[in-house]
Amino acid sequence: MSAAIGKRQKATTFQLLAPGVVWMILFLVAPIMMIVYVSFWTQTTFAINSTLTLDSWRNFFASEAYVGALWTTIRLWLIVLTLTFLIGYPAALYVGLLVKSKTVATVLLVLCVIPFWTSFLIRVLAWRPMLGKEGAINIILQKVGLIDTPIEVLLFSELSVIIGMTQIYVVFMVGPIAFMLGRIDRNIIEAARDLGAGFGRIFWKIIFPLSLPGVVVGAIFVSVMVLGEFATSGALSGRKVNLLGNIIVTQVGSLKWAMASVVGVILTILLGIVVAGFLRIVDLKREI
Amino acid sequence: MESKILKPILAVYVGLFILFLYGPFIVLSILSFQQGPEGGPQFPIIEWSTYWYQHLFGLTPPSRIAPLPVGEALVRSLTLAFMTMVTATVLGVMAAQAFRKRFRGAGVVFYLIVLGMMVPGVLTGLGTSLLANNVVGIERHWWSTAFLAHVVYTFPFAFLVMLAILNRFDGSVEEASWSLGVSPITTFRKVTFPLIFPGVLSAMLFAFTLSFDEFPRTLFASGRDQTLPLAIYGTFSVEIHPNIFAFGVMTTLFSFALLAVYGILMGLSVRRAKKMAMQEDIA
C-alpha cells in the first residue's frame, strides 16, 4: 500500500519537474554545449563548417586586441566589484541594521530595489546627460567654482563605464547584505555592548561575519552581470572600452561564429572560476 | 557611543546613496521637457515644453529628427512578456510544487534551474542563436527563439519565489481536503492555489518585467523584428535627442504602474486572506 503511494508520488514529482527540466536542458545546457563545440569549427569568410580545428583558439591568443579585452574585462570587474561593495555596504548597514523603525527600513529598501524594475538600457542612457562635457556634473562643478573648464574624461572613457556599472549594479550588493543584516539577532549585539565591546569590535567580530553570506551572494550577482556586460561598456565608452561581451557582439555581427564561441567559452570559464571561488568562502547551502 | 555619531553620518550617506541611484534619472526627466525640435539633449533648458512627448506619439509636424520606432516594438514586447510570464509562472509553480517532497537528484535539478538566471544573457543568447542558426537551421524570431531564451531566464525567478512561498506553506489543509475525498486537482485549485496566490503574483511580476526589459538575450536570439529594448539600443549608436529621454520617462512610469497594480492586487489578496481567517475564528 505505502509502496504504491510512494510510486505514485514519484510519478507526480516526475510529471511536475519534467517540463521545466527538459526546457532547461534543451534551451540552456544544449546552447552552452553548442558554444564549446562551435569554438572548434572551421571559419571561412562568410560561412562556418563543422570540421574541427584549433584555428580560432590560436587566433584569439595571438591577437593583442582579444587578449586585451580579457584583461580589460577582469580589471573592470575587479574595480566595479570593489566599488559596489564599498559603496553598498554602508548603505546596507544603515538600512538593514541601524534603522530602528520598521517602516523607514522598508521604505528605504523599496527605494533601493525600485531601479531593478526599470529599464536597464534607460539607466545606462541616463548617464549620458549627466557625464557629458555639457553634462549636469560638469555644470554643477563649474557653478560651484570647483573647476574652470569641464572635465572631459567623464564621458566616453573607462571612467564613465565604471561609474555607470557601479550605479546600475550596486543595488544587487545592497539587497542581499541588508537581508542578512536584518536577520541578525539584536540580542547578540546588546550582549556584546553590555560586556563593554566598542562598535568597531562588535562590527568586526559579529556584524561583518554574520553578513558575509549576503556579501558573497551580492558579489556573485555583480560579478556575473559585470563579466557578461557589453551594453554599458559600448554605450558609455563610445566603443573605446571592449569587454569580452563586446567582442562576442561584434563577431556575431560579422558572422564570425567560431571566434564568438571561443570568446564565449573563455567567458564561461572565467565565470566558473569566479563563482566557484566565492562559493568556497561561504557554504551557501548551510546558510540558507 | 560611537554608533551615536555613526548613525547620523550613515543617514546622510544613505541620502547621498539614493541621490546617486536616482540622480541620473531625475536629470533625464528634466531634460525630457527640453524645447523642440532645436533643443539638444543637454542643459540649459531653452524653454520648458512637452514637444518631445508629442514627438514620441507622432503628434508633431515632421522634422529632421526621425520618430522613435516604438509602436510595433511595444506591441511585440508586451506580447513576448505576456507569453514569457504565463510559461515561466506555470513552470515555476510546477517545479516548486515538486520540491515540496524530497526526491533523489533534487540538488542537481535545483542548480540546473537556477543556472538559467546566473548565466549571462550574452552567453545564452549566443548559444541559442548558434543552435538555431547552425544546427536546427531555423530563422530566429522574437516569438520563437527569443521567447525560449526569455523563459530560461525568468523561470528560475518564478521558481525561487514559489519555493520561498511553499516552504512556509502548511500542508495539513491539503491533507484535510484529500481525506475528505476531494481530488488532488480540485484541492490544488480550491485550497492550495488561493493560499499561494500572492507568490504566483510575485512570480508573474518578475517574469513579465524581466522579459519586457530583457536586452542581451533578445539581441542575439531575435531576428530582424525589434522588441522595445532593441529599438532603444538602436538609438544609442546615433546622435541622441531628448525624445529618447521622454521615452525613458514613459517606460519608467509604465514600470511604476505595473508595480502599483501588483501592490494593489497583493493588498487585496492579503485582505481576503485575513477576512477568511477571521471568519474561521468566528465559526
Threshold 0.80, pTM exceeds: yes
Domains in chain A, start-ordered, CATH in brackets?
Answer: 64-287 (1.10.3720.10)
- Same domain? B276 vs B259: yes
Using a CB–CB cutoff of 8 Å, tell me whether A20 touches chain B: yes
Helices (H) and strands (E) in chain B, counts: 12, 0
Residue B1: what pLDDT?
44
Q: Give the type of residue at B135.
A: V
Q: Do B33 and B210 contact (CB within 8 A), yes or no?
A: no
Contact check, Cβ <8 Å, A94/B28: no
Average pLDDT over residues A240-256: 92
Q: What is the 3-state secondary structure (H, E, C) of A205-270?
A: HHHHHHHHHHHHHHHHHHHHHHHCCCHHHHHHHCCCCCCHHHHHHHHHHCCCHHHHHHHHHHHHHH
Give the C-alpha separation, B81 to A178, whole Å.
30
Residue B27 CA to residue A127 CA, distance in Å, equals 9
Q: List the single residue in B with minimal CA-CA distance to A50.
A: B134
- Which CATH number does the domain housing residue B177 bear? 1.10.3720.10
Residues B155 and B276 in one domain: no
Interface membership of A30 toward B (CB under 8 Å): yes
Residue B70 is placed in which grid cell? 516604438
Is the CB of A113 inside 8 Å of chain B's CB atoms?
Answer: no
Q: Are residues B199 and B92 in the same domain?
A: yes
Q: Which helix (H) or strand (E) holds A232?
A: helix A231-237
Total domain count, chain B: 2
Q: What are phi and psi of B46, to 5 degrees?
A: -70, -50
Which residues 49-108 on chain A approach chain B with CB closer than 8 angstroms?
87, 90-91, 93-95, 98, 108
Statement to judge: residues B170 and B247 lie in one domain: no
Nearest one of B164, B163, B162 to B203, comparing CA atoms:
B162
- Look up residue B248 and give its three cell numbers: 525613458
Q: Enter the DSSP assignment of A26.
A: I
**In this predicted structure, what is the pLDDT of residue B236?**
79
B129/A252 touch (CB, cutoff 8 Å), yes or no: yes
Same domain for B225 and B278, yes or no, is no
Question: What CA–CA distance (Å, rounded) separates A173 from A81?
Answer: 9
Yes or no, beta carbons of A115 and B152 under 8 Å apart: no
Nearest to B210 by CA among B246, B264, B158: B158
The answer to whether residue A183 scores a pLDDT higher than 60 is yes
Amino acid residing at A64: E
Question: Do B39 and B133 fall within a single domain?
Answer: no
Torsion of CA A84, A87, A90, A95, to 10 degrees: -70
Highest average pLDDT, of A117-126, A160-169, A248-257, B187-196, comes from A160-169
pLDDT digits (tens, 9 = 90+) for A109-153: 888 888 888 889 999 999 988 888 888 888 888 888 888 888 888
Nearest to A27 among B133, B134, B148 (CB): B148
Residues B80 and B185 in one domain: yes
* Owning domain of residue B272: 1-67+241-283
Give how far A49 is from chain B: nearest CA, Å: 9
Backbone angles phi, psi at A43, to 5 degrees: -105, 125
pLDDT of residue B176: 87
Q: What is the pLDDT of residues A55-110, one digit of tens each?
A: 999 999 999 999 999 999 999 999 999 999 999 999 999 999 988 888 898 899 88
Enumerate the residues of chain B whose CB falls inside 8 A of the CB of residue A245: 120, 122, 216
Partner-chain contact A17 B131, CB within 8 Å: no
Residue where the block lists cell 488532488: B184
The candidate with the shortest Cα–Cα distance to A128, out of B25, B227, B143, B121, is: B25
The pLDDT tens digits for B103-159 are 888 889 999 999 999 999 999 999 999 999 888 888 888 988 999 999 999 999 999
Q: Which residue has the higher pLDDT, B168 or A258?
A: A258
What number is the ipTM of this complex? 0.89
Query: Which sign does the torsion angle of CA B214, B220, B223, B224 carry?
Result: positive
Q: Do the chains contact at B248 and A112, CB–CB below 8 Å?
A: no
Cβ neighbours, 10 Å, residue B106: 14
**Cβ neighbours, 10 Å, residue B219:** 24
Domain check: are B255 and B180 in the same one?
Answer: no
Residue A1 has pLDDT above 50, yes or no: no
**Does one domain contain both B108 and B226?**
yes
For residues B32 and B12, the answer to whether their CB atoms sit within 8 Å is: no
Same domain, B185 and B271: no
- Which residues of chain A from 131 to 160 reach within 8 Å of chain B, CB to CB? 132, 134-136, 139
Same domain, B127 and B194: yes
**Cβ-Cβ contacts under 8 Å, B12 against chain A:** none
Listed in order, strand segments (DSSP E) in chain A are: 42-43, 48-49
Say whether both B129 and B260 belong to one domain.
Answer: no
**E strands present in B116-259:** none
Measured distance CA(A154)–CA(A133) in Å, rounded:
8
- pLDDT for residue B207: 94
Number of A/B CB contacts below 8 angstroms equals 235
Residues of A in contact with B94 (CB under 8 A): 16-17, 19-20
Q: CB A34 to CB B152 under 8 A?
A: no
